[in-house]
Structure formats: structure tokens, C-alpha cells
Structure 1
Amino acid sequence: MKFSVQNILENQDYQLIPLEEGDFESLYKVASDPRVWEQHPNKDRYKREVFQNFFVGAMESKGAFKIVEKATGNVIGSSRYYDYNEDDNSIFVGYTFYGTESWGKGINPQIKKLMLDYIFRFVDKVNFHVGKDNMRSRTAMERLGAENTGEQKVAYFGEPSRTNIVYQIKKENWL
């Protein structure tokens, strides 16, 4: 990989800051609401010990961010780059979640735009794993213009395999 997936990315309202070990408590505060995970394949991530595993996976990915609202300084969620494929010149974006107070405010499209605008300088395709029954996230992918390329069993870090829909955006189709 000849690029960094851990640059600070920002727009007028939000910053994506590389995740650090000391961010666990502020991120868990957001993740501890069961509603955050109700459509996710792994519905018990609101539990501290389950989220701890998620956080370890985020740190080991070396591509995870905390999402910070600039006006308040509050951590409102997380996302990451992962599974770079040099042969296919592609990468995944995902493991994204936001606290419920951030829902319905147009934040996700802004965050995805920051991530996609940056990463498309280096790759030709960006893929996304979305839980098969996660209609909220599936709708968000379709609004971004991502194409449903089929189903795939995905084993999240330290968690059982679940059926996901794989979405893809190609560089030439990104706005």
C-alpha cells in the first residue's frame, strides 16, 4: 500500500481522526445504546465485552477513525478502511456506526464523501459489507450510488460469520 488510511479527514462540521487506544470510553459511550445495533447482524455490540472485541479489531485494522463533531468536540461514531486489495486496486469502507442522536441529520453522506473523495485518489473501487437485514444501511448505500454486487458470508473480527450484501462504488461513477 503506497498511501495512508489514517490521515485526518475533515470538512466544515466533522473530523475523522485516527482511532487510538484512549478513545475506547468515548466511543463506547456512543455504542452502548442497543438501538445503534438493532439492525446490525451482531446485535449485542452494545455490551461492553462485545464492543471491546470490536474496538480491538478496529485498532488492529490500522484504518479506523473516531468521528468528531467539530462544534461540540463530541465523538459521534466511527468508521474505517479495511481489506485493501492491491491486485484489484480496491478497499473496503465500513464498520460504520453513529449514535442515535446523529441519525437523520445527513451526517453519514458527509462522512462517506470525505472517505471516498480521499481514497479514490489511490484506488479504483470501494466495497462495503452491509448486513443483509440492515435496511437503514442498505438504503444509505443505495443513496450513495453504490451497486449491490451480491451476498457474502463475512466473519467480523472475533465474531461469527453473518450474511452481508456487498456494495461497490467505482471511481469513474463517484460524483
Structure 2
Amino acid sequence: MRDFDCQPVLCGSTLRLRPLTENDFEGLFLAASDPQIWAGHPASDRHERPVFETYFAARLATGKTLAVIDIDSGLIVGMSSYYTPPDLPDSIAIGYTFLVRAKWGGETNRELKQLMLEHAFKAYDTVYLHIAPSNIRSQKAAMKIGAVHLYDAELKLSTTPAWCKCYGLTREQWATSQPENQR
């Protein structure tokens, strides 16, 4: 990976992103403990504490994960990570993202992605997203921000290889997908 800070502090109008720490476990587990968050996800049992503990430890160990904080409440409302795509080693991807359901369907995902994408576009021309074929909600969210489905591939993003729908978003696609550019 290039000289790129995978754990910056990024602030938007409603969200603050900061490096994930060990002390974030309880707040993040509280956010993740809703079974409906994981219903369309391949890891549909991630709301269970032992499963989430393993997931949290893995994300923490990468040193590339950000806690997503709601500025108004100060509560952790999710997390997201930068990572190197296994099939594109000189590239950057955003993933391992989840948000509490109260933040679905509104501007929160767009703000989260805006903060992370604009940071990534300082060093990379394209950002990738890898989404499980069964995760229709995340696929729609990716397309909503301007990402384009590029290909399907079996990638090892966790302990075992799995099929992913691979999306890409260039700096130019992101710029033209912004509301101020759609008039």
C-alpha cells in the first residue's frame, strides 16, 4: 500500500471517524447487536457476542478500521475499513462497513463514504468495494454513490475465499455523482 493513512480522523457534519481501539468493543457491540443489521449479510450471526468478538478482534488487528461516531450523541453507530484488494495489490478498497439501522436509508452512508472516499482519492484514482452477491442492500448503496459493478471474483477477504461483486468508483465518477454536479 502506498504511503496512505488508513486510520485518519475525519469529520463531517454529523459523523466523526477515528481509529478503532480496544476500548470501542462494548459500544460497537451494542451497535452491532441488532440481528436485522446482519440479516442480508453472509455472516448473519454477527450480532451474537462470540461471533462479534472474533470479528472485532480481526478488524482491530488490521490497524485499518475506523469507528463511526454520531457527533450529536457521541455514540458509536458503526465502523468501516480501508483494505488492499487481494486481486489488486496496488489499490485501495473500502469495506467491512456497518451502520445501526437508525442510520440506514438517509444521508449517513453517503457522509461516511464521502469522508472515506475523499481521503482515499488523495492517494488513489479508483476505490473498490467488494460486496457479497446476496447483499442487495449494500449493492444498491454502492450504486447510489456512483460505484459501477466491474466484475465478480472469488476473493479471500476473511478466513475463507468467497464470491464477491466487485465495484469500482473513480475520482471522476465520484465528482459527477455529487448533488451539486447534478443540476
Would the TM-score normalized by the shorter structure come out above 0.5?
Answer: yes
Amino acid of the structure 2 residue aligned with 1:110:
E
Identity of aligned residues (%): 32
| Number of residues of Structure 1 aligned to a counterpart in Structure 2 | 173
| Structure 1 CA distance for aligned equivalents of residues 131 and 14 of structure 2 | 26
Give the match for residue 170 of structure 2: 170
Give the match for residue 78 of structure 1: 79
Amino acid of the structure 2 residue aligned with 1:125:
T
Give the match for residue 46 of structure 1: 47
| Structure 1 CA distance for aligned equivalents of residues 171 and 99 of structure 2 | 26
| Structure 2 CA distance for aligned equivalents of residues 7 and 23 of structure 1 | 16
Structure 1 gap ranges (5+): none
Give the match for residue 94 of structure 2: 93
| Structure 1 CA distance for aligned equivalents of residues 74 and 133 of structure 2 | 33
Amino acid of the structure 2 residue aligned with 1:50:
V
The Cα offsets for residues 125-155 of structure 1, whole Å up to 9 and x where unpaired, read as: 1111111011111000111111101212234
Structure 1 position 4 matched with structure 2 position 1:
no
| Structure 2 CA distance for aligned equivalents of residues 25 and 101 of structure 1 | 18
Give the match for residue 144 of structure 1: 145
CA RMSD after TM alignment: 1.7
TM-score by length of 1: 0.92
SS at match of 2:84: strand
Structure 2 gap ranges (5+): 176-183
Contact 1:89 1:124 in 2 (8 A): no
| Structure 1 CA distance for aligned equivalents of residues 20 and 31 of structure 2 | 14
Amino acid of the structure 2 residue aligned with 1:101:
A
Structure 1 position 132 matched with structure 2 position 133:
yes
| Structure 2 CA distance for aligned equivalents of residues 128 and 61 of structure 1 | 17
| Structure 2 CA distance for aligned equivalents of residues 153 and 141 of structure 1 | 19
